[in-house]
Structure 1
Amino acid sequence: MKITSKILFLLCLVSTGLITCSGNGGLESLEDILPPASTASQTSKPIDDFQNEIFHSRQNAITRAVNSASDAVVGINVTQIQRYVQGSPFFDDPWLRLFFPPREYERRVQGLGSGFLISPDGYILTNEHVVHNASDIVVTTTDGKQYKARIAGQDMTYDVALLKIEGEQFPFIPLGSSDDIIIGEWVIALGNPFGLFNVNSKPIVTVGVISAVNMDFSGSYQDRLYKDMIQTDAAINGGNSGGPLLNSLGQCIGINTFIFTERNYSKGSIGLGFAIPINRVKTILPDLKNIGRVDRAFRTGLEVENLGPLEARSLGISRNDGVIVTLVNKDSPASRAGIRRGDVIVAVNSHRIRSTSDIQNVIQRVDLNESSIMTLDIFRDGKLIQVKLELEWVTDEK
């Protein structure tokens, strides 16, 4: 029955005396049987509380980490100088090459990457390959401001660069520890993929997990040393290089550096991204800040040459089986290790040695910040022996 019909029916009952308007248990007012008035005003506060509860339930460790770190992420735009040589059309004729030598050209190319502030006075970490051979570096912060940046320090071996912009009270990301990360834990990659930072001056956020740790990549990567890398399936694309990899506490545990892709089909992320562990970066930060480079000057105290055919035959080995020691300096690391003239070095730190260039490449990649001891496999008197060579720092005595 509709409300209006109920009211008319009650009025009829009252007028006919069939119902009284007083007395215990009698009808005191129409409100006793009418439906209650709208309760919107009465329940507005509980609804607001419910909405707030839903809103706060959307907040989690990841959103809090992103909120705390986003303002410290920067986009980096660089102008790089690329040099290339155009060969002489007469490269087969040494006489004509005197008059038509190869020409070296330079061209300016635009590049981009990511970075993040690590101190309130404007120091920024990124990859060295992002700013390699850069003639101009412009940093964009999340408030849309742009700053000219200078390279305070760089290290090609570790692929790390430290930039500096002028200013103070910048937001920054605290450096965590990459030694206690857990495989499977959540991580967040922030950065500037494909230059999207320039759209609204905000970093792009992708989320994944730690897929693996201690990933070592042997071989030559443009003379860079990628050891103990952190693997993640958080999407990393072109332009993400140099950006931070965060844990759920909002701490930086790595610098996003490179990815594996399906080269024949795509250059985008397929869930195989790698970051430099932040503890490796911490070991070189003082050098980058104070002297602008990493001091890796050391000496071994020995000289080597490629094996000649007569030497190899007399030793009963192949010319490609190693390099022969031709000089051991007195009171040097080599002499203290017991290395002798005539020894044949066949391996260094488990890397096979077949020529002097091999041993130079291995020694150049020695990480003195990690260990100053090299392990040499030596062929001597028809037997293989192993010796430990402790490198010696070279200091300026000026």
Structure 2
Amino acid sequence: MPGCIRRLGASWASKPRTSWAVVALLLASPVHADVADMLPSIKPGVVGVGTFKPTGRPPANLLGTGFAVLDGHYVVSCAHIFSKPLDSEKKEMYAVFVGRDQRISVRAAELIASDKARDLALLKIAGEPLPPLKLGDSSQVREGWQLYFTGYPIGSILGLNPSTHRAGLAAIIPIFTPVAAASQLNAHALKQAASPYEVFELDAVAYPGNSGSPVWHPDTGEVLGVVNSVYVRGTREAAISAPSGISYAIPVKYVHRLLEEALPHAP
């Protein structure tokens, strides 16, 4: 046994450089936050958005996802969710849905600003403030980053339970690419050409209910983009049965711009 101890000691002593090199490498490696530890600070600020009609059956109509910003009385989502006129005769209103499982509360919401070109919307909500998410700097985002988004991919079929998906940032691409001939232009392409901007292409599956989901960094929890499922082709049923493996998000710099224009004196 003593001989064994000496041999082990000799073996360890014979490779001190290798061992210390490994230790140094581990100490120098960046420390990444555990996504499971970050989620408790993300999920309370993620809400359902849609409409509420007191006489409807059902009265609540969850159409997408939003997330709280600033002092918690404002919610960012996608503009296309609110494109249909409200039925004022039946007292229909825009609403934010807060809670978990089947324990859902409805907050009246007012659409105070929108950027239809980039499909962003800003709501102001009634009641107590929600835990706001921190907005990051999307100009620092790099292709290849592993990000996450949290939202309601299939609405509230199973109750109000947000799902979190990993999304690799596959590319940062222009929303408009010049076409070879004028005959290939349509009204939608002309609109994009008049106001070009970049979007994030994500290596992830997103569903119509994910519209407005915050795309966030796992180390900081900062929101870097907003999922936009306008690019999901076909009907809601088709998107669920045959989803695309590519999704898109609007960089959060356009959220900053929307907030600055709508609330110039906000902190």
Q: Could you say which TM-score interval applies, normalised by the shorter chain? A: 0.5 to 0.7
- 2:245 is the alignment partner of 1:271: yes
Match of 2:262 among 283, 288, 300: 288
Cα distance per residue 1:7-28 (max 9 Å; x no partner): xxxxxxxxxxxxxxxxxxxxxx
Q: Distance in 2 between matches of 1:233 and 1:214?
A: 13
Conserved 8 A contact 1:121-1:167: no
Q: Distance in 1 between matches of 2:231 and 2:244?
A: 7
Residue 39 of structure 2 corresponds to 66
Q: Distance in 2 between matches of 1:134 and 1:243?
A: 23
CA displacement at 1:205 relative to structure 2: 1.1
Conserved 8 A contact 1:154-1:160: yes
- One-letter amino acid of the structure 2 residue matched with residue 138 of structure 1: A
- 2:66 is the alignment partner of 1:115: yes
Higher relative contact order at CA 8 Å, sep ≥6: structure 1 or structure 2?
2
Match of 2:223 among 237, 242, 252: 252
Residue 171 of structure 2 corresponds to 212
Conserved 8 A contact 1:74-1:115: yes
CA displacement at 1:192 relative to structure 2: 1.4
For 1:58-207, list aligned pairs within 5 A.
Answer: 60-78=33-51, 112-135=63-86, 136-142=93-99, 144-196=104-156, 199-207=158-166
Q: Distance in 1 between matches of 2:165 and 2:205?
A: 6
Cα distance per residue 1:283-331 (max 9 Å; x no partner): 221222369xxxxxxxxxxxxxxxxxxxxxxxxxxxxxxxxxxxxxxxx
- 2:199 is the alignment partner of 1:229: yes
Conserved 8 A contact 1:72-1:170: yes
CA displacement at 1:233 relative to structure 2: 1.6
Name the structure with the higher helix share. Answer: 2
Relative distance call for 1:262 and 1:145 in structure 2 (3 A) is: closer
Cα distance per residue 1:155-201 (max 9 Å; x no partner): 212211100112344201100111111212111111111213x6332
Aligned length: 204
Matched position secondary structure for 1:141: strand
Conserved 8 A contact 1:72-1:141: no
Q: Distance in 2 between matches of 1:234 and 1:189?
A: 10
Matched position secondary structure for 1:195: coil
Residue 15 of structure 2 corresponds to none
Q: What value does the CA root-mean-square deviation take over the aligned residues? A: 3.0
Relative distance call for 1:258 and 1:217 in structure 2 (3 A) is: farther
* Identical residues among aligned pairs (%): 23
CA displacement at 1:126 relative to structure 2: 0.5
Select the structure of larger CA radius of gyration: 1
Relative distance call for 1:232 and 1:281 in structure 2 (3 A) is: same
- One-letter amino acid of the structure 2 residue matched with residue 72 of structure 1: G
Q: Distance in 2 between matches of 1:217 and 1:67?
A: 37
- One-letter amino acid of the structure 1 residue matched with residue 106 of structure 2: Q
For 1:271-350, list aligned pairs within 5 A.
Answer: 271-289=245-263
TM-score calculated relative to the size of structure 1: 0.46
Cα distance per residue 1:60-86 (max 9 Å; x no partner): 532233221111000012279xxxxxx
**Gapped runs of 5+ residues in structure 1?**
1-58, 81-109, 292-398
**Gapped runs of 5+ residues in structure 2?**
1-31, 54-60, 87-92, 178-185
